[in-house]
C-alpha cells in the first residue's frame, strides 16, 4: 500500500557491548577475562542466528541505550530491520525473538528494534507493530538510517520511540491499480487503508493528525518530518500506558 522512495540505507553494525559484571567476580584480571569470554560467546551466538535467518532481521547490539530492563533479565538485545518490509517479516522477527529469549539460563530480552527501511507492505508493517507493542519493545531510527512510508507504522508501535535519522511520510497507493482508470475500485481499497490506519494509530496511542498529514502528501511525493512534527505526531517519546506501568525499582 505504500510506495518506497529512493532513500539511501546504511547497514547498522554491531554496537559495542556493555555488559554488567557479576558481583562475585573480583580483581581486574578476572573481570577482563570474563568480559572477553562473554562478549565472544554472545557475539558468536547471534552471528549464527543472523546467517540462519538472513540479513534483513539482524542483531543491533547488547545492552543498547534505550532498552529498558523490565524484570529479571540479565541483558537486553536490540534487533535491526533493514530493507523493504514484505509479507512474512513479522514471523521472522517473532522467530528471532523466540530464539533469543528461549535460553532461560542467560535471561535475555529483546527490548528494541532498530529501523532502516524505505517502507513496503502496509499490512505487514502493522503486524510487526502489534508484535512489538505486545512485547513492550522500543523502536529507534539511528542517525545513519531512515524510516519511510510503511516503516513509520512500525516506528509508531514502540513503547519508547527515538528518531535521529529521517522519517518520511506520504499517502497510500495501490500498485496494481496505478493508471488503471478504475476509480471506484481504487477508492474502495484506499478507504479501507485509511480506516485500518486510523484504528491502528488509535491502538498505538499516537496522534491521529499523523494520518491527516499522510493524506496531504501524494503517493508520488515525500515529506520528511521535522523534529517538531515528530513530537506533535507522537513518533518520538513514550507510550503513556508503558510509562505508568513501568516497574518501580
Portion of the chain with pLDDT greater than 70, in percent: 72
Indicate whether 34 belongs to any domain: yes
Indicate whether 156 belongs to any domain: yes
Indicate whether 143 belongs to any domain: yes
Phi-psi region of 181 (alpha: psi -120 to 50; beta: other; left: phi over 0): left
Indicate whether 46 belongs to any domain: yes
Indicate whether 12 belongs to any domain: no
Task: Report pLDDT digits (tens) over 197-226.
Answer: 999 999 999 999 999 999 999 988 999 999
pLDDT bracket for residue 57 (50, 70, 90): confident
Q: Say if strands 147-148 and 167-169 run parallel, antiparallel, or are unpaired.
A: parallel
pLDDT for position 69: 67
Indicate whether 6 belongs to any domain: no
Indicate whether 19 belongs to any domain: no
What CATH number is associated with residue 217?
Answer: 3.90.226.10
Indicate whether 106 belongs to any domain: yes
Do 79 and 46 contact (CB within 8 A), yes or no?
A: no
Task: Report pLDDT digits (tens) over 157-171.
Answer: 999 999 999 999 999
Q: Which domain holds residue 84?
A: 28-244
Task: Report pLDDT digits (tens) over 86-140.
Answer: 999 999 999 999 988 887 667 888 999 999 999 999 999 999 999 999 999 999 9
What total of structural domains would you count in the chain? 1
Amino acid at each position: 500500500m505504500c510506495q518506497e522512495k529512493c532513500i539511501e540505507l546504511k547497514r547498522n553494525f554491531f554496537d559495542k557491548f556493555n555488559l554488567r559484571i557479576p558481583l562475585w567476580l573480583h580483581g581486574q584480571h578476572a573481570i577482563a577475562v570474563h568480559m572477553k569470554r562473554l562478549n565472544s560467546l554472545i557475539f558468536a551466538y547471534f552471528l549464527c542466528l543472523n546467517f540462519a535467518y538472513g540479513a534483513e532481521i539482524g542483531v543491533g547490539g547488547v545492552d543498547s541505550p534505550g532498552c529498558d530492563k523490565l524484570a529479571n533479565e540479565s541483558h537486553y538485545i536490540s534487533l535491526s530491520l533493514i530493507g523493504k518490509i514484505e509479507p512474512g517479516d513479522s514471523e521472522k522477527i517473532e522467530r528471532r525473538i523466540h530464539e533469543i529469549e528461549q535460553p532461560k539460563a542467560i535471561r535475555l530480552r529483546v527490548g528494541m528494534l532498530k529501523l532502516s527501511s524505505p517502507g513496503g507492505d502496509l499490512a505487514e508493517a502493522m503486524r510487526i507493530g502489534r508484535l512489538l507493542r505486545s512485547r513492550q519493545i522500543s523502536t529507534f531510527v539511528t542517525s545513519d538510517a531512515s524510516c519511510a512510508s510503511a516503516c513509520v507504522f512500525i516506528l509508531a508501535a514502540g513503547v519508547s520511540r527515538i528518531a535521529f535519522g529521517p522519517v518520511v511520510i506520504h499517502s497510500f497507493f495501490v500498485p496494481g491499480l496505478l493508471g488503471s482508470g478504475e476509480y471506484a475500485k481504487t477508492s474502495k481499497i484506499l478507504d479501507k487503508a485509511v480506516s485500518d490506519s486510523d484504528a491502528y494509530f488509535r491502538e498505538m496511542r499516537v496522534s491521529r493528525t499523523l494520518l491527516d498529514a499522510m493524506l496531504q502528501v501524494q503517493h508520488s511525493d515525500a515529506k520528511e518530518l521535522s523534529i517538531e512534527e515528530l513530537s506533535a505526531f507522537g513518533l518520538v517519546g513514550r507510550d503513556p500506558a508503558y510509562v505508568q506501568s513501568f516497574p518501580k525499582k
